[in-house]
Every structure is written in C-alpha cells, then in structure tokens.
Amino acid sequence: MIQEPALLTEYKSRVAPAMRELHGYKNVHQIPKIAKVVVNTCIGSSPDTKEALEIARTELTTITGQRPVTTNSKKAISNFKLRQNQAIGAKVTLRGRIMYEFLERLIKTALPRIRDFRGISPKAFDGQGNYTLGVADQSIFPEIELDRIKRNVGFDVTIVTTAATDAEAKSLLTELGMPFSDKVKKPAAPKTETASEEA
C-alpha cells in the first residue's frame, strides 16, 4: 500500500480542524485546501534557446518529479528579438500526492537552505487566495547536484488554494508551515484531551 504524503496527513489531522476552529467554518467543504501548485520558468530570448530550454526542463523534472510542458510566447516583441509562438519556458502543474510531496520539500528542506533566509514575503498574494513565490535558482533543492549545474534556473511557484480571501489563504499556508517573514501566527498545536474534559 502506498503511504500518504506526510504533509497531506498533517493537513487532514491537524491543519483542517485548526482552520475550522480558527475561522468558524460551519461546513467541512468551506475549509480551504491546496488545489494545485504551478512551477513556471522562463528563459526569455536567450541566444542558446534550445539548450537553455532543455536544461530548464531537466531541472524542473528533477525538482518536481513530473515532466514539464513547454510554454510559448503569445506575441512578437522586436526589441527583445522575440517571435510569436516561440518556446520561451516550461511549467509543471502539480496535483494530489506529488503536489504535497513537492510542498513538503519546499517548506521543510529547500527554503531553509536559502542563504540568510528570514522568511518569505506575506505580500505576494493575488487577491483571490493564491500565493506566488519566486525562487532565484534551483540549487536550494537537495535533488540538484551542485557540481552538475550548467546554468541557474530561476522559477516561480504559484500555490493555488480554494480560500475565499488572502487572509484565509495565508492562515492555511502558515498552518502548513510556510515561513512568512512577519511570523504573525505559529501553527496551532494539536488538541489533547485534559483530565477536566474527560471528567
């Protein structure tokens, strides 16, 4: 039997009940959850576009465990020597098990490896309960072998939630362990029965 990702187990056992108590949701379907995670990178109009794109695709595959799709430019921009429908990047859309496994590695392993890390910005929500985090390069992920890096690949990680507001989305991500720089709230401790409650 395939074991459930630890972060998903934590969401079900601790985070969801904590969110329900904190925000007073009357229905379990109102409790926000992570819908999907999109990891996107752009190589722009690099002179060695083909090689740069292949490196970006390989690195995204290593980091996420899923093959990315190629993204193309929507219109031509002569100043940047960019043609319409030119391959300029790659992206991966993660859901389910692989999404929770990626998030757990991002939160607990990759982000703390950033030099002089003081938390992520709490201001990168889009007004609809989704959060986008910029990562400067792929080296923070332990799956990447540093001596084999041919070029830095920066990318954006967009966490799409079912939250109705940014405040609820932030509350959800905080409970999941996302290290926001303002540290407004620590994850809630799991409830334990006391002797007085049992009596």
The per-residue pLDDT for 150 is 81
The per-residue pLDDT for 84 is 59
How far CA 167 is from CA of 122, 130, 148, 185, in Å, comes to: 10, 10, 40, 12
**8 A C-beta contact, residue 125 and residue 161:** no
Q: Residue 111, Cα to own-chain centre: how many angstroms? A: 11
The per-residue pLDDT for 178 is 94
Classified as helix, coil or strand, 195 is: helix
Q: What is the pLDDT of residues 50-96, one digit of tens each?
A: 888 888 899 999 999 999 998 876 655 555 555 555 667 889 999 99
The per-residue pLDDT for 194 is 46
User: In the chain, which residues have pLDDT < 70?
Assistant: 1, 44-47, 73-87, 183-199
Mean model confidence pLDDT for the chain: 85
Complete domains list, the chain, with CATH: 6-19+34-179 (3.30.1440.10)
Strands 87-94 vs 155-161: parallel, antiparallel or unpaired: unpaired
Cβ neighbours, 10 Å, residue 21: 11
User: Closest by alpha carbon to 138, among 61, 67, 72?
Assistant: 61
The per-residue pLDDT for 184 is 46
